[in-house]
Structures are given as structure tokens and as C-alpha cells.
Amino acid sequence: MVTVLYVLKLPKKRYKYILYFCRIRSLLTNFYGLLRMKQFSLLFLVLIGIHTQSAHGQSLSLFAIDTTAYPTIKAKFYAFDAAGKQVRPNVGDMTLTENGQQRTITSVSCPAPVTPKAISSVLVMDVSGSMEEGSGGVPNLDLAKKAAQEWVNGLPLGASEAALTSFDGSNYLNQDFTTDRTKLLNAIGGLAPNGGTNYDAAMIDPQAGGLIVSKRGKYQKVIVFLSDGLPNTEPKTAQIINEAKQQNCLIFCVTLGLPAPQCMKDMALQTGGQYFENVTMVNDIEDIYRKILKNALGSSPCIIEWQSGVNCINSLINGEIKLLQPNLTSSFSYQPPTSSVAALEFSPTFVAFKKVSPGTQKSATVTVTARNSDFFVSNITCSNSAFGITPATFNLLKGQSITLIITFNPPDSGYVFGNFTVTNSICPTVYSASGGYLGKKPTV
């Protein structure tokens, strides 16, 4: 099927060559078997002029979003080109949106390039039975292997070294410290799921706990601890942290398909590392391991600042950051502070007129306050003509209040209800009023 798709993209003058190669390919399939077939497929693509470029390492990710100075937002980001080299853009090289609205980027600052420092990294991989499953359509073990491969391929071996251990109810030394990339990749490919989940086995139990292996490291010690499950028994978190501190070992923790438990958060934050949780996608896990690796090698992230806007509801903000060259995008989300939510606040929150005789008028006062923003109210209309409101046009600066008068002229004694639509420059607002005698059904 893949071959057919490529054929459809070719000029007509090459069709006779395609038929020729397809016949040869069919003969080779029967004669040489599957291995030869794969080799010839590669040759076939080369001969018909198809060229692909690897985008290994190309990514953009934004994290550590700081909302304490809202509406000024600050965050960190890493950008890498196709060669895995960190990109250091300027303000004009990027765009940013929140909930589809363009935002103004006020500053982008990136640290100067540094020579990567040598590290001794231990990849601690969960191989419990649950790793056969996955919440994002991909088995968790496949996610873990992709992540580990990303680490090994990006690590400057020779200057640095790496080891691979795995755990379920016990632990296993899959590959001791080496600078041989092939050995590491082969060890990753051989991982298979089985058994339970024991964090002590992962980190401190003999013979292959991550911190047992890291002792043999020659350089700055780094552990990347990945799991998709909660531990079967409470781990010895304090002991793990103390041992890591004695070794000056950074611990980074990653969870697949679940929030990071507190013990993992403590291991990471108290040893100078970070934690990442609820990962379900291949691109995300590869990006996380790439980010951890750059951090461990001494490469600092860039910092971006932008001006957010007013929110009408207190809900999650979904954003997108885009790097123009190379063309990369990344999604992010954050919970804005309560102080970001603008509203016209009515007091009381509802007006009810009771026992007003038909043909007479009754009025009530309502106080309206502008919260967290200036408001220009251009009109107020009501869905029921029995109710009126004045004034219907006014301006309020942030924190200011105004008193409105609501009137009720009942056409009969039946229950009536009305919605006031407050047209303004910031947030759609509706206020309600009712009137009539208790127990009297509405005429309409």
C-alpha cells in the first residue's frame, strides 16, 4: 500500500520503470525472503528519486509557567532544530496565542551556549506487567523505549556515559555504564514487561537499583526514573533522597498515564531534578527526555514573557507558541489566578418583586461593581417589557460601582420573569428579575 502511494506521486514517464522494479521485487520476495525484501524496498525508493530528511531532535516545548505577576506571564522553553541544536530566538521570531487570541510577547531571553558537561546517566525503566497497556493508543513500554532511545541518540557518548536498569518487583542490570550506543540501544530493545511495581527495587535495592548503579559513574550522576504505576508498597523515600544527595545525583521522574505520586515529586524536587506526569503520547515523551537531557548536560532554557488578557470565566487557558524559523509549534495550558477574571458583579444577585398590583409600579435598586477590569456598558435590554432599568448606558473603571434602578409594571397578577442582557466591552452579562403573586400561574 505504501508503494502505491509513492507511485501516485511520480511523473508519468517513470511508470514503466516502476512496473519493472515491481516485477523484480516480486521475484526477490519469493526467492530471498523478508530480509531481502526490506533491503530492496529501500533500494527501490532510492532509485525512483524519493528523498527523506530526518527531523530527529526538532522540537519546541514551553513549561514552568509563572502567573504570579498576572497579566504578565513568564515561562521557560526549549527549542531544538533538526540537528538537535538549541535554537535561541528573539521576540520577533515567535508568536503566541491564548484561547485563539493573539498575545503580545514582551521579551525573550536565552542564555549563551555552553559546552555540554560530562554526565553518568542511569535510565531506570519500569517493566511491570501494566507496561503492556497504555492510555494514548500506544503501549507504555513502547513509550518508554522511544524515550530511552531519544536519550541515547542525543547523549554525547564518549564525553558522557550511560547505563540501563529496569524493575518490576525486582531489579535488573540491562546494561552497565558504557559509551557504546549500539549496546545501549540493544538493551533498550530487549526490555519486556512482567511482574509488579517496587520503587525501592527501582532505586536502592541490590543489585541493580538506580542509585546502586550510579555509584559507579565517573561524572555528574543523573537518574531518569520512569514508571506507569503506583508502588505496591510505600517506598523508602527519605533514604532514596539522602543517598542521592550523598552522591550529588540529580533525579528526574516521569509517569505514564497517571499523576506523579508525592514520593516521586519529592525525589525529583529535593535532589535538583524535575518531574513530568500523565504522559501518553510518543512525541511528548521524546520531548520530555530531550528536555531532561539538555538540562542535565548544563543547557539552560530560554525565558519568554507575554501579556495575557482578561478572562470572563475562571477556567483553564489553552495556548500555542510558534517559532517561525524553523517552523515549530507547541501547545500549553495553565490555570490563571482568580484576579484575572473580569465581571460585572451585581448585588443582590437577583431581584424578586412580590405582590405588586396590576397597573401599579414598584422599583428596586441594584449595585453593579466592575471587577478586575474597566467596563463600558453600551446598552441594557430586557426580555420582558414588564421590567425596566436605568441607566442603560454607563462607564465603570476597575473597582468602581454604580446604582441601577429596576422597575416592575405587572400587566396582571401572574408570575413573570425577565432577563436583562448587559451589552459591554469585556464579558457578556445577564441579570434576572421576577415578579407576581405566589401561586399565580403566568399568563404566557
Classify residue 189: in a domain, yes or no. Answer: yes
Same-domain status, 109 and 157 = no
Classify residue 355: in a domain, yes or no. Answer: yes
Domain boundary among the residues 236, 269, 299 is at: 299
Same-domain status, 109 and 163 = no
| pLDDT value at 160 more than 50 | yes
Tell me: the pLDDT tens digits for 394-434? 999 999 999 999 999 998 888 899 999 999 989 999 999 99
Average pLDDT taken over every residue of the chain? 86
Q: Are strands 387-390 and 362-371 parallel, antiparallel or unpaired?
A: unpaired
| pLDDT value at 35 more than 50 | no
Same-domain status, 139 and 272 = yes
In angstroms, rounded to a whole number, what is the distance separating the alpha carbons of residues 329 and 319? Answer: 10
How does residue 40 score in pLDDT terms, banded at 50, 70 and 90? very low
Classify residue 425: in a domain, yes or no. Answer: yes
Contact predicate 201/167, CB 8 Å: yes
Same-domain status, 354 and 432 = yes
Classify residue 205: in a domain, yes or no. Answer: yes
Same-domain status, 130 and 225 = yes
Burial of 354: CB neighbours in 10 Å, binned 0-12, 13-18, 19+: exposed
pLDDT at 392: 96
Q: HEC string of the chain?
A: CHHHHHHHCCCHHHHHHHHHHHHHHHHHHHHHCHHHHHHHHHHHHHHCCCCCCCCCCCEEEEEEEECCCCCEEEEEEEEECCCCCECCCCHHHEEEEECCEECEEEEEECCCCCCCCCEEEEEEEECCHHHHCCCCCCCHHHHHHHHHHHHHHHCCECCEEEEEEEECCCEEEEEEEECCHHHHHHHHHCCCCCCCCCHHHHHCCCCCCHHHHHCCCCCEEEEEEEECCCCCCCCCHHHHHHHHHHHCCEEEEEEECCCCCHHHHHHHHCCCCCEEEEECCHHHHHHHHHHHHHHHCCCCCEEEEEECCCECCCCCEEEEEEECCCCEEEEEEECCCHHHECEEEEECCCEEEECCCCCCCEEEEEEEEEECCCEEEEEEEECCCCEEEECCCEEECCCCEEEEEEEECCCCCCCEEEEEEEEECCCCEEEEEEEECCCCCCCC
| pLDDT value at 27 more than 50 | no
Classify residue 444: in a domain, yes or no. Answer: no
Same-domain status, 284 and 320 = no
Contact predicate 380/394, CB 8 Å: no
How does residue 114 score in pLDDT terms, banded at 50, 70 and 90? confident
CATH at 425: 2.60.40.10
How does residue 165 score in pLDDT terms, banded at 50, 70 and 90? very high
CATH at 240: 3.40.50.410
The number of folded domains in the chain is 4
Classify residue 443: in a domain, yes or no. Answer: no
Same-domain status, 198 and 316 = no
| pLDDT value at 2 more than 70 | no
Classify residue 36: in a domain, yes or no. Answer: yes
Same-domain status, 176 and 86 = no
Tell me: the pLDDT tens digits for 219-228? 999 999 999 9
Classify residue 350: in a domain, yes or no. Answer: yes
Mean pLDDT of 132-151: 91
Mean pLDDT of 211-235: 96
388 is in which domain, residue-wise? 343-436
Same-domain status, 395 and 419 = yes
Mean pLDDT of 246-266: 96
| pLDDT value at 75 more than 90 | yes
Same-domain status, 312 and 375 = no
Same-domain status, 248 and 326 = no
Tell me: the pLDDT tens digits for 313-371? 888 999 999 999 999 999 999 999 988 899 999 999 999 998 898 889 999 999 999 99
Same-domain status, 145 and 256 = yes
Domain boundary among the residues 275, 299, 323 is at: 299
Mean pLDDT of 224-235: 95
CATH at 327: 2.60.40
Domain boundary among the residues 299, 321, 352 is at: 299
pLDDT at 320: 97
